[in-house]
Amino acid sequence: MSTFNIVHLQRIFNKLDRDGDGLVSIDELLWLLDAFSVHTNRDELELLQEIWEFEREDETMESDLRKAFRVFDLDDDGFISCEDLQNALSRLGLWDEHYGQDCRHMIGVYDTNSDGQLDFEEFKNMMFVADRSIV
Ligand SMILES: [Ca+2]
Ligand SMILES: [Ca+2]
């Protein structure tokens, strides 16, 4: 009996799901593994499928964040500047006088490389921190 772990399963899953739509059924997998005389059980596969779906949600979140980033990066130069941020927030009706002249400060909080603008990584941090403060 071969030693089998989740990493192997993930590799197979990736291969099976050729078009990347995540639609590989557990029954198909069981059938395939059986065909290769790999012994596993349904519980393991269901666990894998959960992990798989979780990772896919992660990817979805990443692409959602990219879309959000583009909403803010109005001049599309790959960075959110103070002006980008202020314009985008105004368009969304989220610009509040009490933030006032403070877009530089808002950016400064997350501007880890201190170039005065937010790149995508810095933007992600901002969104994650924002998420946490809502919860
Ligand atoms: Ca920009
Ligand atoms: Ca920066």
Q: pLDDT digit string (tens) for 96-132?
A: 766 556 788 889 989 999 999 999 999 988 877 655 5
Which residue from 119, 133, 86, 127 is spatially nearest to 105, judged by alpha carbons? 86
Q: Is residue 73 part of a domain?
A: yes
Q: Kindly report the CA angle at 95 between 132 and 106, in degrees rounded to 5?
A: 55
Number of domains within the chain: 1
- Backbone torsions φ then ψ of 65, nearest 5 degrees: -65, -35
DSSP H/E element including 84? helix 82-91
Whether pLDDT at 1 is above 60: no
What's the CATH number where 107 sits?
A: 1.10.238.10
The 10s digit of each residue's pLDDT in 35-79 is: 666 666 777 777 777 777 767 777 777 888 888 899 889 999 999
Q: Is residue 11 part of a domain?
A: no
Q: Is residue 114 part of a domain?
A: yes
d(CA 52, CA 49): 5
What's the CA-to-centroid distance between 97 and ligand 1, angstroms? Answer: 22
**What's this model's pTM, rounded to 2 decimal places?**
0.54
Give, as residue ranges, everything with CB less than 5 Å from ion ligand 2. Answer: 111, 113, 115
What's the CA-to-centroid distance between 111 and ligand 2, angstroms? Answer: 4
Q: Is residue 113 part of a domain?
A: yes
What's the CA-to-centroid distance between 84 and ligand 2, angstroms? Answer: 13
What's the CA-to-centroid distance between 56 and ligand 2, angstroms? Answer: 28
Which domain does 85 fall in, by range? 41-134
- Give residue for tokens 């990443």: 62
